[in-house]
Amino acid sequence: MAFEFKLPDIGEGVHEGEILKWLVSEGDVVKEDQPLVEIMTDKVNAAIPSPRAGKILKRFGKEGEVIRVGSVLMVIGEAGESAPAAGPSAVAAAPSHPAPERGTGMGAAAPAVAGGKAQATPAVRKMAREMAVNIDSVTGTGPGGRVTEADVKAAASGAKALPVRSAALPVPAATRAALPPASIAPGEREERIPLRGMRKRIADHMSEARHRAAHFTYVDEADMGEIVALRERAKKVGEAKGIKITFLPFIIKAVTHALKDHPMLNASLDEARQEIVMKRYYNIGVATNTDQGLVVPVIHDADRRSILELAREVEALAEKARTNKLTLPDIQGSTFTITSVGKLGGVISTPIVNYPEVAILGVNKIDKKAVVRDDKVAIRQMMNLSLSLDHRVVDGYVGAVFLADVIKYLEDPNHFLL
């Protein structure tokens, strides 16, 4: 008997997933637990295993399509079974219909309505093509989530800042064909990469954050001399235990201490209910670069962990991120995010908040700088901190006081060690 396999519940709060890659084809015989398809949800790739042994009779959805949890992903039958559509051919003595007759296929081939496609009128879809906007990635503000003309225009103006989008500009065939015969084969001058998977998640998430939050960035500097000295000592302790100690655990420590004094930065805005959600737990997201793009693993209850524990956790999560082994709990539930480009560090940055959080701290490089202390020029280990905030929730003054406290903790770690 054919069995309809529906996209299972992959994790809490996950309602849909994007088909990243089919690992099996129609007609393949599969074993139980054999991975069938890679599904991208939020920022986790999950390989969905087969619930049973059998033959893949039918697959639904193309790579890049978004499907809802509970919708049919494929039909699995017994090894000898053929796809339902081919059923009655065994009865026939006459040769099987090589092609459906004029019109008879119209039902079968009628395009589906849903399936990750934006709901928009044909005219709006045409406008989106002309403005080189991928309408399926635009968040609709019309009734029932319809993408309106205004939504497309907004996406088009936002898209100009996004290199990802401009890379997807269509190449008119005429332009290609009209190239001078300089023996450049069409297509060689540019490459087209479908915006899908993690890149699409990042694009959607960043657009949403930029679109909704009222961003502003505030920069101040910290004298990291004490932390540099402290880390040198801690490194030796860490080495004995096999833990690599970076600056990040100290910064996380300073941040969680400061957050307790300034709860408005450890919050999110529930737009639907028009409420500010203040969180009494401190889960720190750590923006991490991987081959596939940015992910933000989360250190849960960071305030309750020691420097060594934080160091171990940071290292473990970074390793999981690099090897693509993050699970949903690893990337969910952050209340505040820290982003650092490691040794590159830069001078200042203007981070985008990890929406719907309201604050993100950009950590820049530690560098020896000439500063004035007691009316004399001194050499100090200075570091800039770039704090981006959602001004709808956090006013400038509140942010400035918070950052001053973070700096206070960093410049005198005794405050949080004691």
Partner 1 sequence: MEGGQTADFDCVVIGGGPGGYVAAIRLAQLKQKVVVVERDRLGGVCLNYGCIPSKALIHAAHVFEAAGHSEELGIRSGGVSLDAEKLQAWKGTVVAKLTGGVAQLLKGNGAEALIGDATVASPTLVEVTTKVGVKELSTRAVIVATGASAIDLPFARFDGATVISSKEALELKSIPKTMVVIGGGVIGLEIASCLAKFGTKITVIEMLEEVLPGVDVDCIRVVKKALRGHGVEFFTKAAARNVEKTGSGALVTFVTEEGETKVVEVDKVLVSVGLRPNVEGFGIEALGVKRAEKGGWVLTDDRQATNVPGIYAIGDCTGPPYLAHRASKQGIVAAEVIAGRPSAADFRAMPGAIFTDPEIATVGLTEEQAKAQGMEILVGKVPFGAVGKSIAINAPDGFVKLLFDKNTKAIVGAHLVGAGVSEIISELALALELGATADDIALTVHPHPTMPEGIMEAAEAALGRSIHFMGARR
Q: Are strands 72-77 and 3-6 parallel, antiparallel or unpaired?
A: antiparallel
C-alpha count within 13 angstroms, C-beta hemisphere, residue 227: 29
Residues forming a β-bridge with 217:
388
Q: Which is nearer to partner 1, 186 or 342 (CB)?
A: 186
**How far apart are alpha carbons 123 and 129 in whole angstroms?**
10
Candidates 176, 241, 260, 368; binder of partner 1 (CB under 8 A) is 176
User: Does residue 132 interact with partner 1 by CB under 8 A?
Assistant: yes
User: Does residue 183 interact with partner 1 by CB under 8 A?
Assistant: no
The span from the first CA to the last CA of the chain, in angstroms, equals 67
Mask for 294-313, x = binds partner 1 (CB under 8 A): --------------------
User: Does residue 175 interact with partner 1 by CB under 8 A?
Assistant: yes
User: Does residue 71 interact with partner 1 by CB under 8 A?
Assistant: yes
Mask for 29-68, x = binds partner 1 (CB under 8 A): -------------------------------x-------x
Candidates 125, 165, 253, 320; binder of partner 1 (CB under 8 A) is 125
Question: Known catalytic residues?
Answer: 391
CB atoms within 10 A of CB 152: 24
User: Does residue 94 interact with partner 1 by CB under 8 A?
Assistant: yes
Q: Segment contacting partner 1 (CB under 8 A): 120-128, 285-293, 359-367, 380-388?
A: 120-128
Q: How far is the CB of 411 from partner 1 (least distance, A)?
A: 56
**How far apart are alpha carbons 38 and 42 in whole angstroms?**
13
CB 333 within 8 A of CB 279: no
With b for 16 or more beta-carbon neighbours within 10 A and e for fewer, the 339-349 pattern comes to bbeeeebeeeb
Q: Which is nearer to partner 1, 100 or 263 (CB)?
A: 100
Q: How far is the CB of 393 from partner 1 (least distance, A)?
A: 32
* Bond before 100 cis per omega within 30 degrees: no
Mask for 336-375, x = binds partner 1 (CB under 8 A): ----------------------------------------
Q: How far is the CB of 101 from partner 1 (least distance, A)?
A: 3
CB 278 within 8 A of CB 359: no
User: Does residue 111 interact with partner 1 by CB under 8 A?
Assistant: yes
Candidates 173, 240, 377, 418; binder of partner 1 (CB under 8 A) is 173
**How far apart are alpha carbons 372 and 336 in whole angstroms?**
33
Dihedral in degrees, nearest 10, Cα atoms 302, 303, 307, 311 = 0
Candidates 3, 13, 166, 187; binder of partner 1 (CB under 8 A) is 187
User: Does residue 90 interact with partner 1 by CB under 8 A?
Assistant: no
Candidates 35, 51, 77, 115; binder of partner 1 (CB under 8 A) is 115
**Cβ neighbours for 364, distance < 8 A, ≥ 6 positions apart:** 340, 345, 346, 347, 348, 349, 383, 384, 385, 386
**How far apart are alpha carbons 408 and 401 in whole angstroms?**
10
Q: How far is the CB of 103 from partner 1 (least distance, A)?
A: 4
- Which of 58, 51, 54, 71 has the alpha carbon at shortest distance from 22? 58
- Which of 398, 332, 328 has the alpha carbon at shortest distance from 359? 398
Q: How far is the CB of 45 from partner 1 (least distance, A)?
A: 22
Q: Which is nearer to partner 1, 192 or 368 (CB)?
A: 192
DSSP secondary structure letters along 335-396: SEEEEE-TTS--S---PPP-TTBSEEEEEEEEEEEEEEETTEEEEEEEEEEEEEEETTTS-H
Identify the helix (H) or strand (E) that includes residue 415: helix 414-417
User: Does residue 5 interact with partner 1 by CB under 8 A?
Assistant: no
- Which of 8, 10, 7, 3 has the alpha carbon at shortest distance from 327? 10
CB 297 within 8 A of CB 326: yes
Q: Segment contacting partner 1 (CB under 8 A): 33-41, 84-92, 149-157, 256-264?
A: 84-92
Candidates 122, 242, 376, 397; binder of partner 1 (CB under 8 A) is 122
User: Does residue 97 interact with partner 1 by CB under 8 A?
Assistant: yes
Q: Which is nearer to partner 1, 119 or 217 (CB)?
A: 119
Candidates 146, 210, 300, 391; binder of partner 1 (CB under 8 A) is 146
Which chain residues interact with partner 1 by CB under 8 A? 4, 6, 60, 68, 70-72, 88, 91-95, 97-115, 117, 119-122, 125-126, 129-130, 132, 144, 146, 170, 172-178, 180-181, 186-187
